[in-house]
């Protein structure tokens, strides 16, 4: 079984914030594949279903972003999901808005949610889908920005971006990380800068 975990913060006030792109991607996958992500399990909301003939559990840890690993580690242990069947989807302030990077492993690059996941699992060998959220202008406070609602003028971009992220997850499950990387890794529109 694959476990696809979107990182974010529970609560209505966080729903449309950049920090909740992981949750929004899980919601899109759930809608697309008819999976109800409503069951409580290991401090997460989860749902079971199939994507491309593969058994999949979708999960939204309810621990708040910075403690995501304290939900995912017990969830994986309980359901015997090895790290190589985990896909973590999360926002990345180091990447420009609308860029997407699939990586098969690596450091958390300062992302507190991933620091928690990697620390709790004891391995950094896990697939991740990093969703760029940097607005391309200097920020007074990264924390304020990631927790502020996305502007209404960005609704269409946000909707398309979440769909693209869900496509990338579908591809990882159907074809593997390497193929998904070649298909879906993209720079931000209009950017020619190579991202980390």
Which residues are designated catalytic?
19
Task: Check if the beta carbon of residue 100 is closer than 8 Å to that of residue 58.
Answer: no
Helix (H) or strand (E) holding 112: helix 112-121
Tokens of 148: 């502020």
d(CA 109, CA 111): 6
DSSP string, 128-156: EEEEEEE-SS--S-HHHHHTSPPPGGGHH
Q: Residue 40 gets which letter from DSSP?
A: E
Task: Check if the beta carbon of residue 84 is closer than 8 Å to that of residue 126.
Answer: yes
Helix axes 112-121, 69-78, angle to 10 degrees: 40
Determine the 3-state secondary structure of 79 from DSSP. Answer: coil
């Amino acid at each position: 079984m694959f476990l696809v975990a979107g990182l974010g913060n529970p609560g209505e006030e966080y729903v449309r914030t950049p920090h909740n792109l992981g949750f929004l991607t899980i919601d899109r996958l759930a809608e697309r594949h008819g999976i109800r992500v409503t069951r409580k399990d290991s401090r997460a909301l989860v749902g079971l279903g199939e994507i491309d003939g593969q058994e999949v559990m979708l999960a939204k840890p309810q621990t708040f972003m910075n403690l995501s690993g304290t939900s995912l580690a017990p969830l994986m242990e309980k359901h015997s999901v090895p790290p190589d069947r985990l896909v973590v989807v999360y926002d990345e302030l180091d990447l420009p808005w609308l860029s997407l990077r699939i990586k098969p492993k690596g450091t958390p690059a300062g992302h507190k949610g991933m620091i928690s996941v990697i620390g709790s699992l004891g391995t950094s060998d896990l697939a991740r889908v990093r969703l760029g959220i940097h607005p391309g202008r200097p920020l007074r406070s990264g924390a304020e920005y990631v927790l502020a609602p996305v502007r209404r003028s960005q609704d269409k971009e946000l909707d398309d971006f979440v769909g693209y992220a869900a496509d990338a997850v579908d591809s990882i499950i159907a074809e593997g990380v390497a193929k998904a990387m070649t298909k879906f890794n993209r720079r931000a529109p209009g950017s020619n800068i190579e991202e980390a």
